[in-house]
Structure 1
């Protein structure tokens, strides 16, 4: 009976740490969702702003000449730069948080399996051996495949963002300076 009581009390701190790590993961997942929503909203506002700039060049008055092409071009460029910086900063936070969540989930499973505390687990880096109860075990490392896929999606998204911006900026120049190139296409 004494042995059962001792095992129960030794498992309580471990369970508390497991619960604490689980709550931390849930909080971090909520933060990531909020950051992702922020990115989507900012990108949507950026597209609307760029559409307004492009539309303003298509309905420009006849007195607007090729000499003033730089005004919508510059507005478009400034909007693109500021939004791209915001996008990359926010996505960097998202990627870092996702990596931490993945490592925490790997540690959580490891803590449950081997009944270890977070302090015992943090003695070594992920992927390195750890002495535990007379044996050697390896602390799990979060999947690098998920990390690679996430980064690829972010880089592709940033590339599309830059490509869209380049098309809009070229359109600002082309619409004002090449009026003969319009082939009966009027946007408004």
Structure 2
């Protein structure tokens, strides 16, 4: 291997890491725009938020469905990774659970409009939903288990039921400015506390 090949080998992983970070920043920008304007927001708004040209978005995500799916998967992964981090950093397991539920609410708001946007691909939606459950239910279960083990919350609730309840409280939040889903979810999480 000559000097040029060795130099190319050293820079290739850095370029890949930079490209990955750029795509993640693009997905974060798209998620922010989706929260503010829904999944039908113009691509130019996403490009402006990300600070890139529209061509960059289309190069990575040729269709709106590709972008929506990528944002959804990116947020599922971020939510899944946040659980253990919150459990390690929060002062109590209940605080970690409450923090994670806040992130989960943000995720649910972002995914608003996903089904309508992908209506033509029912199999794809089923796969996304399965991915969502596979990644997030175990994280929520671990947070609940830690809070139960610490004696902070009641033990008669399963992760799926809690996530479903949170999801139901978030339905329609965008249709009525007087409806505060986050406050209601906060009351639900506070209500899990063990009576002393």
Q: Which has the higher strand share?
A: 1
Which has the greater radius of gyration? 1
Higher RCO (CA-CA < 8 Å; seq separation 6+): 1
TM-score norm. by structure 1 comes to 0.37
